[in-house]
């Protein structure tokens, strides 16, 4: 029989999140691997969705999203970033940021086009690029500071570049791109006449005074950027898969050209509940940041005491932790053994690099868990037998 799987998808195997959540379940380990909270967002959001289901809002939504949510997104980007956007022609709702990224790339990329990706790269970027017919071109950032090398970035751009994918705050390393780094990206996008697809799902999770700056707000980038975010992290409902994009009308038309044939639309009661959620006051957003700042402080302190090499992430809900000081040098071996050995699960950092030697002595630890569970995980990690 012929091989059913395409050659372009076969190299990507099974998602690292599937592998390590499965392993966590098998060993009943505390899952600090896959990035989902062990708590839900506000009850009022759930009630709103249930009420809309009962009221009969259960048939297809408009492909680009229900009007109430698109208007709420437009109001939110105006409030948070001072961006004036047209809710009809510039805002689109998708089945999560994941679909927004795929649909945007599928609408933008021709065979032979190159797409610049920063690595460590979130797992869906390379497969989405390849499924869209493009070729990934990598710029590597390294533990512990993940600094951008200007020459390496400049060298990645060429007339073949159609797009760059930028994730800030960045999963898995916690980096928040500075204004200077964003200005360089903006300059290069304009010089090479290409587009930016920005993944900003952790926009509200920044710490120690770091602030999130959307690339679309930089001079010259308003019509060149598809700004993507999601309600998953902001409202602690990762399973709902309500994501969205904000982009100029021509870029929006490109993203929608594929979106209409990928999922067509996203469940209307969930969209309407998220429209309600976006209207929650500033206290909700500051409370979210504060509670994550506390979890982050707890995890950083405990991991450091155990002997991990940790640096405070400026954003996201992940900590990149070096395992070298504990006597380990193989992140996959460490993470595959950890659930059985300690009852905790984490993600090997090299999963986010094309060259598996990069990040081999680093693991990603999620802190989107309630305090007592994080404490219990750290107690278990403290019993880990040392190799050094
Ligand atoms: N981008 C990044 C960087 C992520 O960490 C995640 C995981 N939530 C996603 C996209 C996916 O978002 P969604 O669940 O809205 O598809
Ligand atoms: N974004 C989540 C993470 O980074 C996982 C999403 C998924 O499982 N695909 O852990």
Q: Mind listing the pLDDT tens digit of every residue in the chain (388 residues)? A: 999 999 999 999 999 999 999 999 999 999 999 999 999 999 999 999 999 999 999 999 999 999 999 999 999 999 999 999 999 999 999 999 999 999 999 999 999 999 999 999 999 999 999 999 999 999 999 999 999 999 999 999 999 999 999 999 999 999 999 999 999 999 999 999 999 999 999 999 999 999 999 999 999 999 999 999 999 999 999 999 999 999 999 999 999 999 999 999 999 999 999 999 999 988 999 999 999 999 999 999 999 999 999 999 999 999 999 999 999 999 999 999 999 999 999 999 999 999 888 999 999 999 999 999 999 999 999 998 776 5
Q: What is the pLDDT of residue 281?
A: 85
Q: Looking at the structure, do residues 176 and 253 belong to the same domain, yes or no? A: yes
Distance CA 201, CA 177 (A): 14
Is residue 3 a part of any domain in this protein? no
Q: Looking at the structure, do residues 375 and 269 belong to the same domain, yes or no? A: no
**Which of 280, 312, 328 is the endpoint of a domain?**
280
Q: Looking at the structure, do residues 220 and 74 belong to the same domain, yes or no? A: yes
Is residue 21 a part of any domain in this protein? yes
Residue 167 domain boundaries = 56-280
Q: What is the pLDDT of residue 239?
A: 98
Q: Contact, 299 vs 344, CB < 8 A? A: no
3-state DSSP percent of the chain in helix, strand and coil, to 5: 45, 15, 40
Q: What is the pLDDT of residue 388?
A: 59
Distance CA 279, CA 382 (A): 42
Is residue 241 a part of any domain in this protein? yes
Q: What is the pLDDT of residue 385?
A: 79
Q: Looking at the structure, do residues 238 and 337 belong to the same domain, yes or no? A: no
Q: What is the phi/psi pair of residue 367, to 5°?
A: -115, 30
Q: What is the pLDDT of residue 384?
A: 87
Q: Looking at the structure, do residues 231 and 287 belong to the same domain, yes or no? A: no
Number of domains into which the chain is organized:
2
Q: What is the pLDDT of residue 356?
A: 84
Global pTM value: 0.98
**Which of 230, 246, 280 is the endpoint of a domain?**
280
233 Cα nearest atom in ligand 1: 8
Q: Supply the residue whose CA is at minimum distance from atom 4 of ligand 2.
A: 35
Q: Looking at the structure, do residues 327 and 186 belong to the same domain, yes or no? A: no
Q: Looking at the structure, do residues 273 and 287 belong to the same domain, yes or no? A: no
Distance CA 259, CA 102 (A): 9
DSSP SS3 for 71: helix
> For residue 267, what is the domain's CATH number?
3.40.640.10
211-241 pLDDT, tens per residue? Answer: 999 999 999 999 999 999 999 999 999 999 9
Q: Which residues pair with 114 in a beta bridge?
A: 135, 161
Q: Is the CB of 348 under 6 A from ligand 1?
A: no
Q: Looking at the structure, do residues 257 and 293 belong to the same domain, yes or no? A: no
Q: Looking at the structure, do residues 67 and 172 belong to the same domain, yes or no? A: yes
Q: Looking at the structure, do residues 312 and 289 belong to the same domain, yes or no? A: yes
What spacing in Å lies between the alpha carbon of 285 and ligand 1's midpoint?
Answer: 18
Q: Supply the residue whose CA is at minimum distance from atom 7 of ligand 1.
A: 35
Q: Looking at the structure, do residues 312 and 201 belong to the same domain, yes or no? A: no
Q: What is the phi/psi pair of residue 209, to 5°?
A: 85, -5
Is residue 51 a part of any domain in this protein? no
Q: Is the CB of 171 under 6 A from ligand 1?
A: yes
72-94 pLDDT, tens per residue? Answer: 999 999 999 999 999 999 999 99
Q: Is the CB of 34 under 6 A from ligand 2?
A: yes
> For residue 307, what is the domain's CATH number?
3.90.1150.10
**Which of 280, 302, 332 is the endpoint of a domain?**
280
Judged by its nearest atom, the ligand closest to the C-alpha of residue 170 is 1
Q: Is the CB of 98 under 6 A from ligand 1?
A: yes
Q: Looking at the structure, do residues 72 and 119 belong to the same domain, yes or no? A: yes
């Amino acid at each position: 029989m012929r091989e059913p799987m395409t050659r372009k998808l076969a190299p990507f195997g099974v998602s690292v999140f599937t592998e390590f959540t499965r392993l966590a379940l098998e060993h009943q380990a505390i899952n600090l691997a896959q990035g989902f909270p062990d708590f839900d967002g506000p009850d009022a959001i759930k009630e709103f969705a249930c009420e809309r289901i009962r009221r009969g809002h259960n048939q297809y939504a408009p492909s680009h999203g229900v009007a109430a949510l698109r208007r709420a997104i437009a109001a939110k980007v105006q409030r948070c970033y001072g961006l004036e956007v047209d809710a009809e022609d510039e805002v689109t709702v998708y089945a999560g940021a994941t679909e927004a990224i795929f649909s945007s790339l599928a609408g933008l990329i021709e065979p032979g086009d190159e797409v610049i990706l920063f690595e460590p790269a979130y797992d869906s970027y390379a497969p989405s690029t390849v499924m869209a017919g493009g070729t990934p071109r990598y710029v590597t950032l390294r533990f512990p500071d993940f600094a951008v090398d200007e020459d390496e970035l400049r060298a990645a751009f060429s007339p073949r570049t159609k797009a760059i994918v930028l994730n800030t705050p960045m999963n898995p390393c916690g980096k928040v791109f500075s204004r200077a780094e964003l200005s360089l990206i903006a300059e290069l996008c304009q010089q090479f006449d290409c587009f930016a697809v920005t993944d900003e799902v952790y926009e509200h999770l920044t710490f120690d005074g770091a602030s999130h700056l959307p690339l679309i707000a930089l001079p010259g980038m308003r019509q060149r950027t598809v700004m993507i975010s999601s309600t998953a992290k902001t409202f602690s409902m990762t399973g709902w898969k309500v994501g969205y994009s904000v982009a100029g009308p021509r870029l929006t038309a490109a993203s929608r050209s594929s979106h209409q044939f990928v999922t067509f639309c996203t469940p209307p009661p969930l969209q309407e509940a998220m429209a309600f959620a976006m209207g929650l006051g500033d206290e909700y957003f500051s409370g979210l940041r504060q509670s994550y700042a506390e979890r982050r402080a707890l995890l950083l302190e405990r991991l450091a005491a155990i002997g991990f090499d940790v640096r405070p992430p400026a954003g996201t809900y992940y900590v990149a932790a070096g395992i070298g000081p504990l006597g380990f040098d193989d992140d996959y071996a460490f993470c595959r053994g950890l659930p059985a050995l300690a009852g905790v699960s984490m993600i090997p950092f090299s999963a986010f690099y094309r060259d598996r030697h990069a990040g081999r002595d680093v693991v990603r630890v999620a802190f989107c868990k309630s305090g007592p569970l994080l404490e219990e995980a750290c107690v278990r990690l403290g019993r880990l037998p040392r190799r050094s």
